[in-house]
Chains A and B, each alone.
Chain A
Amino acid sequence: MEIAIPQSPVAERENYLNAKYGVWSWLLTTDHKRIALLYLLSITFFFFIGGFFALLIRLELLTPAGDLVQADTYNKLFTMHGMVMIFFFLIPSIPATLGNFLVPMMIGAKDLAFPRINLLSWYLYIIGGVMMLHCMLTGGVDTGWTFYAPFSTNFTNTKIVEAGLAIFVAGFSSILTGLNFVVTIHRMRCPGMTWSRLPLFIWAHYATSIIQLLGTPVVAVTIVLVAAERALHLGIFDPKLGGDPVLFQHLFWFYSHPAVYIMILPSMGVITEIIACFSRKRIFGYHFVAFSSIAIAVFGFLVWAHHMFVAGISVYSALVFSFLSYAVALPSAIKVFNWTATLYKGSIHYDAPMLYAFGFLGLFTIGGLTGLFLSALGINVHVTDTYFVVAHFHYIMVGGAVMGYLGGMHFWWPKISGRLYPEGWARLAALIVFIGFNLTFFPQFLLGYMGMPRRYYDYSHMPEFQVLNVLSTAGATVLGVGYLLPMVYFLWSMRYGKPASDNPWNAAGLEWKTASPPPTFNFDEEPVVTWEAYNYEELDAPPHTQEVPVAR
C-alpha cells in the first residue's frame, strides 16, 4: 500500500498549521480546518466531562445500596451525563470535526461556503458550553436530559432555564454547521464532481444537515416554551392549567429522535470510506448507500412517537409509529448489507481504522436489531424505562457513533496532523474499546430484560442484579482506558510520529490528493474530477493507468 514516489519532508511545506502562529490566528481563523481543530479540542473536553459523570454513575451502581451518592445527586449525574454527551459531544462530534475538515476537501472546494458563519458556530458552541458548565457547577439539572413537563416546568427547583438556554444556543451552532454543509455541497463542488461522484461521507453529511436544519429549531422553540412556562407560569404543558404534557413530548421527540440520526449518519459515512479503502473495492451499491442516507433522514422524522408508547397516546397512532419505526430499519439494513457485500472478496487490510469499522458493523447491528425489539409494541411496553433501552441506545450512540468517530480520527489523522499514529497501539486501543464496550453494555441488555429500571440509584431490593452491574462497571473502566489511549498517542504522534505522506493509505478521494497537512486553501490548483468515486481497482492497477491528480 506504500505510495511509489518518496515524499519531501512535510515540515518545510507551508500548510494550514504553520501558515500563521499565535492565539488570535486560531481564535479568529476562518479556515475550516482550523475551526475543525478548535471543535476537536472543545468536544474532547466535554467528552471527558460527560465520561466523568458516567464513571460516577457506574461507581454508584457497583453496589445495590445507594451509598456513593444520594438520590438527588444521582438524578443530576445521569441528567448532566446525558445533556453533555448528547448536545456537547455526540451532535457536534463527527460533523463539526471531521465533517468540517473534510467536506470542503472531499468536494474540491477551498473552504465552506460561509467561513465566518462556521467560526460563529464554534463561538455559539463555546457560549452554550460555558453556560452548561456554569449550570453544572452551580447545581445542575435533575430532570433527565429529556426535560419532561410538568416536572421540568412546575416541580423541580434545579437550573432548567439555564440548561435550556445552553442547549438552545448550542442548537444554533448545530443549525449553522448544517446550513454551511448544505450550501457548500450544493454550490461549491469542483468541476467534474457530480452528485454521483460524491464520496458517501458527503451524502451522509448532507442527510445529517437536513435533520439539523429541520429538527433543531423545533426543539429550540420547545425549550423557549418550557423556559417561558417556568418563568411566567404559563399553562401550555401543565395539565393543572389545561395544558398537555404529552404535547411537550411530541415536540421534544420530533427533534430528539431524528437527533439520533444526526449522531449515527456521519458515522455511517466514515465507515463507508474506511470499508471501501481497506477492502480496496468500489463500494457495493453506491446509489443505494447514498439514497439510504436520505431515506434515514426522511423516515427519521416520522417515528418520534415510539418514545411515547406508554405516555398515553392512542393505540392506533402507536400502531402507525411502530410500523414506521420498522420502516426506518430498511435503509439502515441496506447500508449494513452493502458494506458486507463490499467486504466480500475484497483485499482486506486490518489497520486500526478498519478494526473500528468492524467494531461498528457488529455493534450497530446489535443496536439496530434491539431497536426493532423496541419498535414492537408488546416488547416495548415490557422493557420501557429499563436498562434494555439504555443498552440499546448506547449500542447505537457509543457502539455506533463513537466507534465511527474514532475510526475516522485514525483514518484521517495523517491528513489532519501530517503525522502517522503508532499503528500497534492503535490496534490495541481498538480492541480494548471493543471489549470494554461490550462488557459495559451487554450486561445492561440482560439487566433490562430482567426488569432493572433505568435512573434508579438504589437496587437493594433486587440484589441479584449486582453481578451484571459489577461486570458493567468493570467494562466501563476498560472502556475508559480504551478512550484515553488514542488521546495519549495522538498527542504523542503530533511531535514524535513519523511524517505522513500525502496518501498513506493509497486511498481514493480528493482529500488524499493534496498535501498532508493540506495548505490553507486545500489545493494548490483547483482540482478537476474525471474519475468515479472509490476507484480502487484503478488505483491498485499498474502505475501507467493511474489517474493524474490534477487534470487541466
Chain B
Amino acid sequence: MPDSTLVGLHHEEEHHPELLHHFADAEQQRDASSLGMWVFLATEVMFFGGLFCAYLIYRRWYFGDFAAASKTINMGLGATNTAVLICSSLTVVLAVWAAQTARRTLLIVSLVVTMLLGLAFLGIKGIEYTDKFEEHHVPGASFSFNNVPIPGRPGEYANPRHAQIFFSLYFVMTGLHALHMIIGLGVFTWLLYTAWKGRFTPEWHTPVEIGGLYWHFVDIVWIYLFPLLYLIDRHP
C-alpha cells in the first residue's frame, strides 16, 4: 500500500507547532494533558487529605481546646480571603474563555487580575500570621495560650498544649496551601508571558485550561480550610 505510506509521511509535516511528535492529533494531546492534571489533583487531594484527617481527629479529641484556639484567629480576614479567592476563580474562568475565543487583551487582563487577587490573598494571610506571631500563638518556645476560656463551657480553660496542636496544624495546613498559591502564581506568570507573546489560540490553549484547573483546586482547598479552621462551633 504505497499510498497510505505517503499519507503517513505528509501527516508528520502538517503538525500544529505545539503538537508533540508522540501524539496522533491535537485532541489526543489535549485529552492527555487535561487527564494528567486531574490525576495530579487526585494526588493533591490525598496530600491534603492526610492533614485534614489529622485535624479532624484532634478536633474531636480536644474539641473545647480547639474551639478556644479557633476563636482567636481572625474570621473577618478569613472571610475576606474566601471572597478574594472566589473572585479569582471567576477571573480564571474568564481567562480560559478568552483563550478559547481568541480575546488576547481579555486573557491578559484576566490573568493579571487573577495574580493580583492571589497576591492579595497572600498579603492578608501575612497579616494574619503577623497577628498570631505577636500574640505568641506560633508553636514553639515562646508559645503562650494561658487562661483562655473554652467557649460555651463557663469556668473551663483551654489546655495550652492542645491549643498548640491546633496552631501547629493551622500553620502547616495554611502554610502548605499558601505554598501551593505561590506555585500557582509562578505558573500564572508563565501563562501571562506566553499569552503576551500571543501563542495561545483557540486550537491550542491547554496550558490556560490546566493551569486554571490547578488554580481552582487551590481555591477549593481553601473553601474546606476556612470552615474547618475558622467556623466550626464559632460563638460570638
Taking Cβ atoms with an 8 Å cutoff, the residues of A that contact B are 109-111, 113-115, 117, 175, 179-180, 182-184, 186-188, 213-218, 220-222, 224-225, 228-229, 232-236, 241-244, 247, 251, 254, 521, 525-526, 552
Contact = CB atoms under 8 A, between A and B. Distances in A.
B48 A233 contact: no
Interface stretch (B35-43, B81-89, B128-136, B181-189): B35-43
B46 A241 contact: no
Interface residues of B, number: 43
A218 B50 contact: yes
Interface stretch (B93-101, B103-111, B145-153, B156-164): B156-164
A218 B168 CA distance: 18
B57 interface: yes
A251 B53 contact: yes
B51 interface: yes
B161 A242 contact: yes
Given A233-B141, A234-B139, A521-B22, A214 B43 contact: yes
Query: Is chain A's binding surface mostly helix, strand, loop or mixed?
Result: helix
30 contacts: A109-B22, A110-B22, A111-B22, A113-B22, A115-B20, A179-B36, A179-B39, A183-B32, A184-B32, A186-B35, A187-B28, A214-B42, A215-B46, A217-B43, A217-B47, A218-B46, A218-B47, A220-B47, A221-B50, A221-B176, A224-B172, A232-B139, A233-B140, A235-B139, A236-B165, A241-B161, A242-B164, A247-B54, A525-B5, A526-B24
Contacts of B61: 244
A404 B176 CA distance: 39
A225 B28 CA distance: 39
A442 B61 CA distance: 45
Contact of A214 (B24, B46, B51): B46
Contacts of A232: 139-140, 168
B186 to A, nearest CB: 16
Contacts of A525: 5, 8
B6 interface: no
Contact of A235 (B20, B48, B161): B161
Interface string B13-57: 000000011111000100110011001101110111111011001
A236 B43 contact: no
A228 B165 contact: no
A270 B6 CA distance: 38
A188 B28 contact: yes
A209 to B, nearest CB: 9
Nearest to B44: A217
